[in-house]
Structure formats: C-alpha cells, structure tokens
Amino acid sequence: MAEKKTILIFTPYYVPGFKGGGPIRSISNLVDSIGNDFNFKIITYDRDLGDESPYDGIVRNSWNNLGDTKVFYASHDWLSFGNIKSLLENTDYDSIYLNSFFSFKFSIVQVLLRKLKLVPYRPIILAPRGEFSPGALNIKKLKKSVFMTLSKLVNMHSNIIWHATSLEEQEHIKKNFGSAIATQVVPNLPSANKGDFKNRNKEKESLKLVFLSRISPKKNLDGALRMLRDVSFPLTFNVYGPIEDLDYWKECQKIIKTLPGNVKVNYKGEINNNKVQDVFKRHDAFFFPTHGENYGHVIVEALLSKCLVILSDQTPWRNLEKSGVGWDIPLGEHNHFSEVFKEIYNMDDIEMKRRSDNIN
C-alpha cells in the first residue's frame, strides 16, 4: 500500500477555535472526511479570533497532536518571515494548502519563499475563500488592487493550483488572473450534524430575524440594519458573532440608534458552533445580506435547522425562492427585502411549517 501523502495547511484559525467562522469548519470537515487517506499538518494561531489569551492545554510554538492531526499553534509574534521559512525547511510534507490570497503570514510569505527558491519546491494549492467576489474586493479596494497588480507583474502566483468551491468562485478567480490558470472546483464539505427541527412555531404578527457571523464589513451587518429602517411592524433582530472590527461595530451601533421603536436589535455575543442550530430554531429567518461568500457554512447550518434564509445574491446559494426555502436578493433591491420581511411577518404556523418542510 502506498504511503499516505502529507498536506501542510496554513490557516489563521483552527479548532478548538470557532470565532474565525467558515474556514475553521471547512478545514476541520476536510480533515474529518479524508483523514484516513492523507496526513494533515496544520499551522495556525495559538488563539481564536480576537482573543488575548491562547487556548488551554496546548504547547505554543510547537507541534501538538490533535487526534491523528499534528497542529502547530503559533503565537502572533513568533510567526515571522524567518520562522515560517524554518518551518517549511524542516517539516516533512508533500504539498501546501493555503486558505487566503491576501493574508501576509498565511499565504503571501509562503508563496514568496517558494518563488524566490528559498525553500524546497512543493505544489501549492490556494483557496481564496471568497476573497475575489466583487463585494469582497470592494472592501479596502485600493490596497487589494495594488497587491494584485504587483503579484501579476512579477508572476508571483505562477504554478499554483487554485481551489474554487463553486463555479461562480472559479469565474471570479479567472476574471482576476486569466482563464489559463489551473483551477479545480471542489465544494466545501458540510457538517454531518443535522438537527431534527420538524416542529417550528411561528408567533402570529411577529418577526424574529437572526444575523450570525463575524461582525466585519464583508458580512454587511450595517447594510442589514439600514434595511430595517422602514419596517412598520414589530420585528426583533438578534445579532450573534465575534466583533472582528470594533470601529465597524461602532458604526453599526450608530445605525441601531436610528431605527424605529418597533424594531428591536439585540447583540447576543459570540456563540460556539455546537449551539448554532439551537439559535436558528428560535428564529423565523436568517438574515444575511453578505457582500460575498464562496460557500457559507452558516447558511448550511440554517438550512439544516429548517430555518428560512434571506440572503444577498453574492453567495452560491441561488434560486432559493423557487425552491421555497428562502430568498437571494441583489443588495440594491431594498424594497424587495422589505417585501420579504412583510411576507414572513404575515405567515402563520401552517405556512411556516410548509416552507420549512421544503428544506431537505
């Protein structure tokens, strides 16, 4: 039997973390699914997104055994150019898997080291994780445009295999780097945890929406809040997720103060992955007008919980209204969002159950 190949993964956040969102689940689901066929070594930060303290029970700046997977939990200051070079020189692996295009410590350094022939040559697979969607590129647009232009001028990302999780993401990648680049479309693997939420209750003449994601410009919480300004009926909007960008959150709080009295917004804080489906069970719909998702694990969790979804058209989840499980609406169509809010508000238990039963 042939010896298993070893994949060296660089990702900013990994288990036991959960605040880093979808990429953590993407990698952990990958390891769980094909860990019998490949060896995985993962290099990540020693703490979760926004935390000041490292995880309990780990050895920092060293390899740890996490089941059959080896994980190097690095402190922020330890993960320097020189130490990344040393890891690449002294670790046995067959290929590198990167989970960002723009991350300096978790993508740019690795690609640059190989380009300059400062480390042994190994194949690199790069998953941009939705970074090339139009909405995502519009955030810090100038900075991103300059780096992309420079990287193409020096042919920095030559001989790289691009991992797209949908045909739409593949189009975004090729639009920015040319149709001749090597891309592979492989969907993310969903969690195997499917809840049993057959009996959903809908209170008459009420609407409970939930936003569950990192609080950062890409996720468009500010846009979601602005769409609630014209709501004239009782509506509760509960917001869950780590505050990744404090200045952005302050802007969101300013918008909350401008909302009418019939709209109640509650920030519920961070939530562990094992509680996500319980949260969706308590709400009528997941409201997530994101600027761009290459997959959207949280969308899958909502659907597995038989919770209707109200999304932007910047995700792979399309034609939802035709399927009867939700809506995907262009971000500029604020009136369309308002019509959907009113439609769900007017639903009774029977109609809500009928819609939920469409989600298989």
Res 149: pLDDT:
93
Residue 247 has what DSSP assignment? H
Q: How many CB atoms lie within 10 A of CB 232?
A: 12
- Any bridge partners for residue 43, and if so which? 10, 72
Are the beta carbons of 341 and 235 closer than 8 angstroms? yes
C-beta separation of 280 from 297 below 8 A: no
Coil, helix or strand at residue 84 = helix
Residue 299 has a pLDDT of 92
Phi-psi domain of 159 (left: phi exceeds 0; alpha: psi -120 through 50; beta: other): left
**pLDDT lower than 50: segments of the chain:** none
Distance, CA of 188 to CA of 54 (rounded, Å):
28
Residue ranges of E strands in the chain: 5-10, 38-45, 63-66, 69-74, 95-98, 124-126, 160-164, 182-185, 208-212, 235-240, 263-269, 285-288, 308-312, 326-329
pLDDT tens digit sequence for 140-180 = 999 999 999 999 999 999 899 999 988 888 999 999 998 88
Taking the C-alpha atoms of residue 213 and residue 195, their distance in angstroms, rounded to an integer, is 19
Here the tokens at position 254 are 């300013």
CB-based contact 27:99 (threshold 8 Å):
yes
- The span from the CA of 159 to the CA of 62, in Å, is 30
Select from 256, 313, 253, 321 the least CA-distant residue to 289.
313
**pLDDT of 196:** 52
Residues 181/164, Cβ–Cβ less than 8 Å: no
Residue with tokens 């209750």: 201
Instruction: Note the pLDDT tens digit of each residue in 95-140.
Output: 999 999 999 999 999 999 999 999 999 999 999 988 898 888 888 9
Tokens 């045909």 correspond to: 167
pLDDT value at residue 234: 95
CA–CA distance, 144 with 128 (Å, rounded to integer): 13
Paired with 126 in beta bridges are 98, 162
257: helix, strand or coil:
coil
